[in-house]
């Protein structure tokens, strides 16, 4: 999976509707505040972490934040 394929997957999961057609954009700027899109309960956040090699561990690290805000 390329960075842009992963970015499209995140875009769909978060419902952001970002313009990701240009290959020259800085993806870091596009996803500022990404995890707030899943507030307050974290529903759908697994889509962000599923393709990553250590996705389960990363998701487990962020879930306490969603538990606290739910």
Against a cut of 0.75, is the pTM above it? no
Could you give the CA distance from residue 11 to residue 48 in angstroms, rounded to a whole number? 9
pLDDT digits (tens, 9 = 90+) for 39-48: 888 888 888 8
pLDDT digits (tens, 9 = 90+) for 60-70: 999 999 989 87
pLDDT for 13: 79
Q: Which residues of the chain have pLDDT under 70?
A: 20-26
């690290």: which residue's tokens?
61
| Nearest CA among 53, 60, 69, 70 for reference residue 6 | 53
Q: CA angle 50-52-54, nearest 5°? A: 100
Could you give the CA distance from residue 9 to residue 32 in angstroms, rounded to a whole number? 16
pLDDT for 58: 92
């Amino acid at each position: 999976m390329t960075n842009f394929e992963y970015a499209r997957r995140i875009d769909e999961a978060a419902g952001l509707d970002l313009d990701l057609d240009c290959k020259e954009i800085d993806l870091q700027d596009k996803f500022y505040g990404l995890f707030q899109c899943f507030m307050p309960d974290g529903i759908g956040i697994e889509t962000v972490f599923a393709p990553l090699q250590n996705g389960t561990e990363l998701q487990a690290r962020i879930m306490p934040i969603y538990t606290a805000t739910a």
